[in-house]
Amino acid sequence: MDTTTHRRRFLQIAAIAAAAPLAMRFASTPAYASSLPRIPVDHPKARALAYVKVASEAASHPAFRAGSNCANCRLFVPATEGCVPLPGFSVEPKGWCAVWVAK
């Protein structure tokens, strides 16, 4: 092989390597609520945050405020029904946890 062939092969590989991140960006799909699993209340992260699926079940918790639920929490992500402290999971909009923050 001469230098021209090596140079061409290098440029081909470099072009593919440069385009790969861009292609991955457009090939990936956003996570929607249907693709995120609901976090079970017995999951260690859910237990650590005193998460319940129905806010009224947390009425005896010292941090609970009447009317608070996941849907009116600043940490709730409506597009995915996710929660910032519970990445990779969706939560019940009518649920509640100890890190609830008013919008």
In terms of domains, do 67 and 44 share one? yes
In terms of domains, do 92 and 46 share one? yes
pLDDT computed for residue 53 by the predictor: 97
pLDDT computed for residue 45 by the predictor: 96
CA pair distance 82, 74, nearest whole angstrom? 11
pTM as predicted: 0.66
Reported as type and span, the H/E element at residue 85 is: none
Query: String of b and e for 73-101 (b: at least 16 CB within 10 Å)?
Result: bebbbeebbbbebbeebbbbeebbbebbe
CATH of the domain at 78: 4.10.490.10
Residues of the chain with pLDDT under 70: 1, 14, 17, 19-20, 22-34
In terms of domains, do 39 and 77 share one? yes
CA pair distance 59, 61, nearest whole angstrom? 6
In terms of domains, do 35 and 69 share one? yes
Residue-range definition of the domain harbouring residue 68: 31-103
In terms of domains, do 17 and 56 share one? no
